[in-house]
Amino acid sequence: MFNLGKKITVVTGAGSGIGKAIAELFAASKAIVYLVDLNAEALDEATKKIISNGGQATGIRCNVAEQQEVITVFQQIIQQAGKIDILVNSAGIAHIGRLETTTEADFDRILNVNVKGVYNAMFAAIGQMKKQGGGVILNLGSVAASLGLSDRFAYSMSKGAVLSMTLSVAKDYIADNIRCNSISPARVHTSFVDGFLKNNYPGREEEMFQKLSKTQPIGRMGKPEEIAALALYLCSDEAGFVTGCDYPIDGGFVKLNT
């Protein structure tokens, strides 16, 4: 089960965090993975790790906020691989702030990466998926899309848009045999969390880490590998009857905190 058997897979934001974990697991499940990320150094490291473990991977630097750049990269992948079976939109950035502390520049930056970046990648892939008779799109959302999170105004806005785009694409392309779903994690322990604690709570990192962990009823943060496991299922043939759905993976955050 869950063998992706040479499926051509594009993962954005694959240089670190959840995107990297997804790329690694998909490659281990026999997919041919194209890693897309803005950070060339992280991208190179992630790609080399997959190859060293026996996987098939190619890293391509790309700014998902720039449509023509994204289209060019996807055309390059199609020319090389002949198709795109799976697209995982994991590229995204965070922002901490409420409405009155969110500048226009902050808002535009979040909008361009988290919303326009997802749109750009889907726009670049959808034509090829229709042409080849189907495909799978998976978008990384957040519990912030359905709950009001403190000090996450712009970020919550962007993930709400990702959820809406997911449902729209699922409905519009179901007759084209294209499935589209999203995953909505709560807090996941990535390098972003470590950097946030180091920058904002120097000397209190462990204390604040435990505090943030306990905001999930399960008592800890998620692991990138756990998110990747759900992504693998949703992109596999075993999930062929699943489309137009958002899957919270949150240690009980949504249902047990409300």
Is 141 strand, coil or helix?
coil
Spatial distance between the Cα atoms of 58 and 255, rounded to a whole number of angstroms: 39
DSSP string over 146-176? TS--TTBHHHHHHHHHHHHHHHHHHHHTGGG
Adjacent-strand bridge partners of 11: 35, 88
Adjacent-strand bridge partners of 247: 183
The answer for residues whose C-beta is within 8 angstroms of residue 198's C-beta and 6 or more apart is 205
Catalytically annotated residue among 119, 155, 173, 247: 155
Compute and round to an integer the Cα radius of gyration of the chain. 18
Spatial distance between the Cα atoms of 111 and 148, rounded to a whole number of angstroms: 18
Spatial distance between the Cα atoms of 198 and 208, rounded to a whole number of angstroms: 10
Secondary-structure breakdown of the chain: helix, strand, coil percentages, each rounded to the nearest 5: 55, 15, 30
| 155 is known as an active-site residue | yes
DSSP 219: S
Adjacent-strand bridge partners of 179: 136
The answer for residues whose C-beta is within 8 angstroms of residue 158's C-beta and 6 or more apart is 92, 110, 111, 114, 115
Active-site residues, by number, are 155
